[in-house]
Amino acid sequence: MRESYLVAARSAVDLLGDPAVAAAWDKPSALTEFSVAGLAGHLAHQLVRVESVLGRRPEEAQEPVSLLEHYSMSPWVQAGLDHESNIGIRRGGEAAAAEGPVALAARTGELLERLRAALPTEPADSVVSLPWAGWSLLLDDFLLTRLIELVVHSDDLAASVGVETPELPSEVVAPVVDLLARLAVHRHGATAVIRTLSRAERAPATISAF
């Protein structure tokens, strides 16, 4: 999981440095209510979050919850765009991008190098505290949540600026698809997911994981 996360993070840093991102910086993005700048800042924040939890003291961590519990307890998952949690996410993206595209790409690239050095030194069973959430996760589970964010928002950003979505290897994509499928089943039920994947004529309107 750690190597998969770093591969996706490298791809995201490269995308942030694409001239097309800078050219569209102040335009609306493909993601509702996000500007391109705010979306880029949110994408970069998936590296900031990881460094922030690695810097916390181990004794702050609680018994880790499961990934399904994590998403079930996170208010943004099923909240509307005007919910305070989603407003806060958008504001955070804009704040992260305030110095402009060149500075954001450079800063995120430097952060990636620090994470390349730090992640391999973490114990296999490392648990991290998420102070913004109020609970803890296994480090590798937390990295999977960030991996999803990197993959999904890289597609959003690429679509926003008119470039191809970065191609990622199967070791990056497979765990993302697996967890999104599990979350979709948890939210909509197995029958809805099975019908969507196998019977278009009986598929529900959506099986979105979020």
Per-residue pLDDT of 13-67, as tens digits, reads 999 999 999 999 999 999 888 899 999 999 999 999 999 999 776 667 789 999 9
Average pLDDT of the residues in 110-127:
95
pLDDT at 87: 77
In which band, very low, low, confident or very high, does the pLDDT at 150 lie, cut at 50, 70 and 90? very high
On whether both 146 and 178 belong to a single domain, the answer is: no
On whether both 154 and 136 belong to a single domain, the answer is: yes
pLDDT at 66: 95
Range of the domain at 175: 169-210
Tell me the sheet residues that pair with 127: 138
On whether both 64 and 16 belong to a single domain, the answer is: yes
Distance of CA 173 to the CA centre of its chain: 13
SS3 (DSSP) at 186? helix
pLDDT at 14: 98
On whether both 83 and 178 belong to a single domain, the answer is: no
Q: pLDDT higher for 57 or 150?
A: 150
In which band, very low, low, confident or very high, does the pLDDT at 210 lie, cut at 50, 70 and 90? confident
For the chain, the distance separating the N- and C-terminal CA atoms, rounded to the nearest angstrom, is: 22
SS3 (DSSP) at 35? strand
| pTM of the complete model | 0.91
Q: Are 157 and 80 in contact (CB under 8 A)?
A: no
pLDDT at 207: 87
On whether both 155 and 190 belong to a single domain, the answer is: no
pLDDT at 20: 98
In which band, very low, low, confident or very high, does the pLDDT at 175 lie, cut at 50, 70 and 90? very high
On whether both 86 and 176 belong to a single domain, the answer is: no
| Mean pLDDT over each residue of the chain, to the nearest integer | 91
On whether both 79 and 99 belong to a single domain, the answer is: yes
Number of domains in the chain: 2
CA atoms within 13 A on the CB side of 180: 15
Q: For residue 187, what are its two tokens? A: 């939210």
CATH for 50: 1.20.120.450
**Alpha-carbon torsion 192, 69, 7, 170, what sign?**
negative
pLDDT at 101: 96
- Residue 128 phi/psi, 5-degree rounding, is -120, 145
> Secondary structure of 121-179 in the HEC alphabet?
HCCCCCEEEECCCCEEEEHHHHHHHHHHHHHHHHHHHHHHHCCCCCCCCHHHHHHHHHH
Average pLDDT of the residues in 195-200:
92
On whether both 106 and 182 belong to a single domain, the answer is: no
Tell me: the pLDDT tens digits for 70-97?
Answer: 998 887 676 666 667 667 778 888 898 8
